[in-house]
Amino acid sequence: MHFAYNVFPYTFVAILTPIHESIFEHLKLVLYPMLIFDIILWYKYYHKDLSAIAPMLIGIIVGCLSIVLIYYFYHCGLGVNSLIGDIFLLFVGILLGNIMMIMFYKFHWTMNWKVSLLILVSIIIIFSYWTYCPPDVPLFIDYS
């Protein structure tokens, strides 16, 4: 997904894939694959149980936040710059998000599915908006 926008420079592709080398743009590599995977899981294994939406939302949020926190810790805190480390970090974030999703679902920690869905849709809208109108904060700096 990382270089999809270079091959297909369309608005829809830009919303779903990184178009710059900022931390925020790389969070799309967590958000959308986890969302698609979670929808498939929800349809196939959770038997369309609407209470599974909240754990999926929590998993996506934990995956994204863990990437941001760990990235800034080892890049800014420790001064380490490593492409392999960044790729590994992506998988760690997805793994942590999925573990959290499973824990929330297994222990029935949930909230109203309508609120969960509203938050999820809001996150997607915010990600789409920030793709073209990023705030002026370090998370959105293009490091290329």
Q: What is the pLDDT of residues 2-15, one digit of tens each?
A: 778 778 788 888 88
| Domain residue extents for the chain | 37-134
Q: What is the pLDDT of residues 59-76, one digit of tens each?
A: 999 999 999 999 888 888
Which of the four pLDDT bands, split at 50, 70 and 90, describes residue 142? confident
- Calpha distance 18→3 (Å, rounded): 7
Lowest mean pLDDT among 19-28, 31-40, 44-53, 117-126: 44-53
Buried b (16+ CB within 10 A) or exposed e, 25-46: bbbbbbbbbbbeebeeebeeeb
In the predicted model, what is the mean pLDDT of residues 77-105? 88
pLDDT averaged over every residue in the chain: 87
